[in-house]
Amino acid sequence: MPGSKKEAIVFGLIMSYTMTYGMELYNNAIQQGIQALPGGLSGLGYGVFLHALKECLFMGAIVFAVSGLFGNRLGARIADHYWEKGMPLSLYQLLRQGGTIAVMCPAMSLIASILFSVILGGASPLQLPAIWVGTLLKNFPMAFFWNLFAAAPFTRRTTALLFHRA
C-alpha cells in the first residue's frame, strides 16, 4: 500500500488507467463481436487495442475521480467490516480489492451505460436500468479477475519501483 500522499496519487492513477484499459479492451472486443468469431477473444486485432486506448484516456480520468470521491473509501469500509484482528494482512488486501471492485464496478457500469448507450448511443433513458444491469453483469467478472490478477499486482509493482521500494 502507498506510504505517502504522493505515492497514493501515483498508485491511484496507475490503478485507474490499468483497470480502465483492461475494461475498455474487453468491452470493445465484445462490442465488435470478436468473442463470437472462431478463436474468440484470441482474435483481437491491433485496432481494438488502439480504440480501447483512445477511450481509456478520458475514462481513466473518470475512474480516478470516482475512486477518489467515494470508491476507495467505501471499498475500505467494506473490507473493515469483514476484517478481524489476527487475520493475515494479505487477506485484508484481498478484502480491500473486493470491496473496491464491489463499489467501482456498479458505479462505472452506470456511468458507461449513460455515456455510451444513452448519450452517444441514443438509447432511451427509460431503458437505462436494464442497460445498466446488463452492463454490470457483463463487466463484474472481468473487473474482478482483471483487478485481482493483473491490474493490482502491476500497479503495486510499478509503484514500488517508482518509489524505490522494490
- 122, 125, 150 from 117: Cα distances, Å: 6, 9, 28
Contact between residue 11 and residue 2 where contact means Cβ atoms under 8 Å apart: yes
pLDDT at position 43, please? Answer: 86
pLDDT class of 37 with cuts at 50, 70, 90: confident
CA distance 50 to 92: 36
Angle at 106 between CA 100 and CA 109, to 5 degrees: 125
Range 145-165 average pLDDT? 95
pLDDT digits (tens, 9 = 90+) for 74-114: 999 999 999 998 999 999 999 999 999 999 999 999 999 99
pLDDT at position 1, please? Answer: 64
pLDDT at position 51, please? Answer: 95
Cβ contacts of 2-11, under 8 Å, gap ≥ 24: 2/159, 3/163, 3/165, 7/159, 7/163, 10/159, 10/162, 10/163, 11/155, 11/156, 11/159
Tell me what the pLDDT averaged over the chain comes to: 95
pTM (whole model) above 0.95: no
With a cut of 80, say whether residue 162 has pLDDT above it: yes
With a cut of 70, say whether residue 166 has pLDDT above it: no
DSSP 58-120: HHHHHHHHHIIIIIHHHHHHHHHHH--TTS-HHHHHHHHHHHHHHHHHHHHHHHHIIIIIIIT
CA 123 from centroid of its chain's CA atoms = 24
